[in-house]
Structure 1
Amino acid sequence: MIPAVFDYACPESLGEAVRMLAGSGGEAKVLAGGQSLLPMLRLRRASAQLVVDINRVPQLRGVQEEADALVIGAMTTHHDVLHDELVRRHAPLLAAATETVGDPAIRHRGTLGGSVTHADPAGDLPPVVLALNGELVAQGPRGRRTIPAAEFFVDHLTTALDPDELLVGIRVPKLGEGWGCHYEKFHLSAQTATLVGVAVAVRREGGGIVEARIALANMGVTPLRASTAEAALAGADATAQAVGRAAEAATEGTAPPSTDPDHPPAYRAHLARVLTRRAVLAAAGTECS
């Protein structure tokens, strides 16, 4: 299909991009890698009076290290995230999940910020940012603000960004000594959506787990934290039996999609429990730092 008519602008600075969004009256869409927006425009599942292409804004690319976190520019491609030494050292869960996104062509064009702001519940990277207690840095005409990941994803394909705000970066806290992490997903091919994804980070002391963070993809209208399973793992032994019992609670409070007759909610719930068990056991045997 052919998209509806829209105006196109390509700002060369962050300030110019923000001014364009502010002047659009909420009728603008931001073009990053285009892997999600362009198909939606062509299928007319989204519309815009103005498309603001931010590919020429240099401030939005790259990875910066802070004392206790990494700040990743929203326009940093999946390929660059995957191969960045700081990310691989301090946020390997993000690197591991990014490696599963699409295929090499998609990873060279798609961006971390685009994936996060698209807020697809089947996306691989939103639950990772959620599991890592990440923060989303937005800039608009009223200045800059930071939004916790737990407050950022508000509904299906909807975030807490105001229409005149632009995501400029993703702040990911470093995981210190004792943390392990792992990403598990089930999908049919690189070109199909993730049926269920599980992002896990666990902190261990001795032979036990003292803290767990588990986030699920495609088990609701937004990425979700499996809080009941997290609580069950706190203080548990890092054994297959203990982890398996906790994983049974991973689907509490979830609402898997019911529109796919080939993969009904009960099937997805089974996948979530199995993948949670696998991911927690793998995380408990690895180091994140």
Structure 2
Amino acid sequence: MNVTAEELAAGRLSPESLELAVRLIEVNGFVLFEEVLPRAQTEALYARMEGLLQGFMEEKGFNLRDGFHDGTNHIGLHLPFEQPFCHESLIAHPFVTDVVDRILGEDCLLTYFASNTSMPGGTKAQHVHADMGARFGDRCGANLPITHLVVNYPFVDVTEENGPMEAWPGGTHLHPDRWYGPNAHDKSRLAEHMLSFKATMPAGSILIRDDRMWHRGTPNRSDRPRTNMALIYTSAANGPGEGSIAIPRETYDGLSEKARRLLRKEKIGFPAARPD
């Protein structure tokens, strides 16, 4: 969806845009708002991520020449809850919170605070997968309501060359619950015969998706990391009993009322964790 200049200036979706975004997620599995965050902000986020990734690679002994993670050169990195990552425009952007409140309920939670990066030199794509497992194993033959929404903010322009996410929308999130368990049909095998698209987008866009939509990371054939932020919002009834995001008390107290409510079950009063 292309947001209007009026919506960007107001920092809010119009009622018509909000309704369309909600229906697109319900029917197609995702919605994409292009180029919402300022370019200066995404450049600062990218620069900070480059430093974290370099330190993580050195700590783990990874190098691009030999490759890692089965040749995908993909890194999922939990982020420290500190600036510039915990900015209000990322954790409680009104474009996002209006959508997730409509789908998950106004008492929903922010339960995951991380990043996904396709590093240069990858030789393989990831296996096609959904981020959500079956809630009832092999026992449930019905499609269940949405309980988790993944939100991605790319910090760099995502192109065909630098490892875009490949997705299979339009119904892969609407299968019976048992299709998301370990004994389900092989998604990678089925996906070979299905239509997909590469999620290219400008830096600062916002991608909101049902976490059951099939997808995979693809190889990065550029010379720079393709990195984005990954947040997960969860309905209150399906949230964890105890959160995992460590948030310093001073940082938490400085957030807006909306952001504090989203994070109310996390580890408030703990020092920001090292990226891992």
TM-score band by shorter chain is under 0.3
Structure with the larger strand share: 1
State the TM-score, normalizing by the size of structure 1: 0.23
TM-score by length of 2: 0.23
Identify which of structures 1 and 2 has the higher relative contact order when contacts are C-alpha pairs closer than 8 Å and 6+ apart.
2
